[in-house]
Structure 1
């Protein structure tokens, strides 16, 4: 331990620089670990939506910090191709400077930002400047460099205005539906009025801080929520003589054992675990398949949670019951504690309110939920808490 009081001012500053350099070298080691976790798909392996959510629980970073570290790790790490070849990082000069302890995490974020507007060969100049200046100055240097490089380029032409006609195109790509639409002024205003309230920034839990989803992701989630709200509506358009219904075909044994996949009525496949989640909040038409997959019997559509059960859940849980989540009841679905496919009944004692995010987490991760003394109680994965101490949501209770 250095006795700082015995050092001269010059020695003290030199020691400070050395310690900060060591910290930055250690930070680079952390970045490499994060990159390796990302490469091996650790989030999916643990049942989480993405790696920043894993880091929030593992090292207690807030969402902004976790996303920043994951993003920087991706920029600085090399990639290994399926053939075993190593591809250089997106910012190789920056990666070298970080490994030396010359740049901070804040420097990396700014360098990545300014390099979006610069050719790859400009990285050497930007990093050289960053070695001697703070991040804010690097940002200004990058803007000035980009202006000098492109000041003689012609101004971009304005695109031709789209005609006032409604157009809608849907196409399935890699298991996701790509939607493109052009709406006339009135229809567009109605659509925006429906979507805007659902797309407002909001924290996932009280401790998460600001909503860091980009606008495109918030509006995508809002559209998904709008679809769910429509499916809960009393009046829906008819298709083939009955209200719009999504038919899921799957062997019951596969569903119970969480193996294989189901087929939607449009031919797309979804994994068994996603069907188990769908069964919590959607109408289900059981289609019994024989040994050779021929249809044997078709049951009646039933809504899993009646209005009466939902009102009781709202009164009990007051919103998402996951520990620390402040989502209100209108943003929550009912979840079967004992899965419907495992014989779980549709009752208040076997149900809990969960928001979309935590509903997915419960289905895909090692988090468990039980009812204890009439209160939903959650148990974290062992990697997060070796003793798996029970946790409850105290936010709604306090309210």
Structure 2
């Protein structure tokens, strides 16, 4: 059967066809959600070795994890629940579920309805769904807020004596070129502590005959004080750990460049540092140079211990530069060293039998049918047969893996 020529349709006929297609897609989405709910009910994630169904869908249909979680959340809202006694319970949003089954609502509508219903009584679902059937999801959220205001505007004001909710501490970090921009919002207690640490370090430098008065602005003085505080923390005796060793800064560069003091070094967060700064950085405590091609640190301790020592971990950081699982971009500080051949099965503790994996993917490798091997210095992953019947090997192309550490 030949494909119809849509150019021959009148505009109203073409638009009606699009609307009909959207209804069919929504009906199919509803069926998909019920299938996802059944995967959740039968514990498919545990059966396949995954943390939850969202992570299964992420690999099975190549959704972003955020998208997969949205589908699972919507499926839970629309599906009936079977009790241990065999009774069927109505969905959490029964009216929305019926409208979705008819193709009258989209998945985004369901998310919007669920969001506004958190602040509304169950009897409000009917008017909310009726509004959703005639408006876009963003309008549903606005309608829900207005409805909640009308319902509760006569309620008594909360007591002035109720203890306010403690605001969450927030920190945002973003690299812009070769500079890291940091912004933070701290509660009163944490803010006071931070201010008490910064203030002594941010005082103007004493006026001297050589340099004169301190010409830095307050913002510049406090920025330098923040950098000084970081150095103080790096020299502290008691620090939190990343991957089993104290917080450190790792600089990676070739031996030839180091000897000639040319080129650049690469930090474990992939930032590039000119060779002129490497010598000054290397003088500070907590900074570890990792020279590719050097042989001053052990790469293999065999079966003597299961835990990877700091020296081997540093070489793994230089080689793998983060989690090696395909598509993952977690940095080295969030990763464990994983035995490719399990230590319990006779595997040695060595660079040639290891790869960096974030905690999530480390657990996945141990619990599922994923396999990982080292191929020409690059950790290579073989997916389960249910995900890829051909079991085609995959590598992480988001990081520059495969660098050899001799």
Range into which the TM-score falls when normalised by the shorter chain: 0.5 to 0.7
Match of 1:218 in 2: none
User: Over aligned residue pairs, what C-alpha RMSD do you find?
Assistant: 2.8
**Matching residue within 114, 126, 129 for 2:128:** 126
Going from structure 1 to structure 2, the CA distance change for 1:86 and 1:326 (only over 3 Å counts) comes to same
Figure out how many residues of one structure are paired with residues of the other and give that number: 279
SS at the partner of 2:20?
A: helix
Match of 2:183 in 1: none
Match of 1:70 in 2: 72
SS at the partner of 2:387?
A: coil
**Which 5+ residue runs of structure 2 have no aligned equivalent?**
166-186, 198-238, 248-303
Q: Which deviations, in whole Å up to 9, do the C-alpha atoms of 1:261-280 show, x marking residues without a partner?
A: xxxxxxxxxxxxxxxxxxxx
Match of 2:378 in 1: 375
**Matching residue within 305, 311, 316 for 1:313:** 316
**Matching residue within 153, 157, 167 for 2:159:** 157
Asked if 1:364 corresponds to 2:367, the answer is yes
TM superposition shift of 1:161: 7.4
TM superposition shift of 1:344: 1.7
Going from structure 1 to structure 2, the CA distance change for 1:188 and 1:333 (only over 3 Å counts) comes to farther
Going from structure 1 to structure 2, the CA distance change for 1:367 and 1:227 (only over 3 Å counts) comes to farther
Q: CA separation in 2, counterparts of 1:348 and 1:63?
A: 31
Asked whether the equivalents of residues 33 and 71 of structure 2 are also in contact (C-alpha less than 8 Å), the reply is yes
Match of 1:390 in 2: 393
SS at the partner of 2:356?
A: strand
SS at the partner of 1:22?
A: helix
Q: Which deviations, in whole Å up to 9, do the C-alpha atoms of 1:31-79 show, x marking residues without a partner?
A: 1111111111111211112212111111111222211111111101110
Q: CA separation in 2, counterparts of 1:230 and 1:325?
A: 17
Match of 1:51 in 2: 53
Q: CA separation in 2, counterparts of 1:315 and 1:229?
A: 15
Give the number of the structure whose alpha-carbon radius of gyration is greater.
2
SS at the partner of 2:46?
A: helix
**Matching residue within 6, 9, 16 for 1:7:** 9
Match of 1:39 in 2: 41
TM superposition shift of 1:311: 2.0
Match of 2:93 in 1: 91
Q: CA separation in 2, counterparts of 1:23 and 1:98?
A: 11
Q: CA separation in 1, counterparts of 2:378 and 2:136?
A: 52
TM superposition shift of 1:101: 0.5
Going from structure 1 to structure 2, the CA distance change for 1:227 and 1:77 (only over 3 Å counts) comes to farther
Match of 1:27 in 2: 29
Going from structure 1 to structure 2, the CA distance change for 1:17 and 1:382 (only over 3 Å counts) comes to same
Going from structure 1 to structure 2, the CA distance change for 1:361 and 1:120 (only over 3 Å counts) comes to same
Q: CA separation in 1, counterparts of 2:159 and 2:101?
A: 43
Q: CA separation in 2, counterparts of 1:335 and 1:188?
A: 41
Q: Which deviations, in whole Å up to 9, do the C-alpha atoms of 1:94-146 show, x marking residues without a partner?
A: 00000000111111111111111110011011111111112122112111111
Match of 1:346 in 2: 349
Asked whether the equivalents of residues 243 and 335 of structure 2 are also in contact (C-alpha less than 8 Å), the reply is no
TM superposition shift of 1:30: 0.9
Asked if 1:185 corresponds to 2:175, the answer is no
SS at the partner of 2:92?
A: coil
Q: CA separation in 2, counterparts of 1:71 and 1:14?
A: 31
Matched ranges for 1:102-121 at <5 A: 102-121=104-123
Q: CA separation in 2, counterparts of 1:186 and 1:32?
A: 46
TM superposition shift of 1:186: 6.1
Match of 1:145 in 2: 147
Q: CA separation in 2, counterparts of 1:121 and 1:161?
A: 30
**Which 5+ residue runs of structure 1 have no aligned equivalent?**
163-182, 194-225, 235-300
Match of 2:325 in 1: 322
**Matching residue within 130, 136, 139 for 2:138:** 136
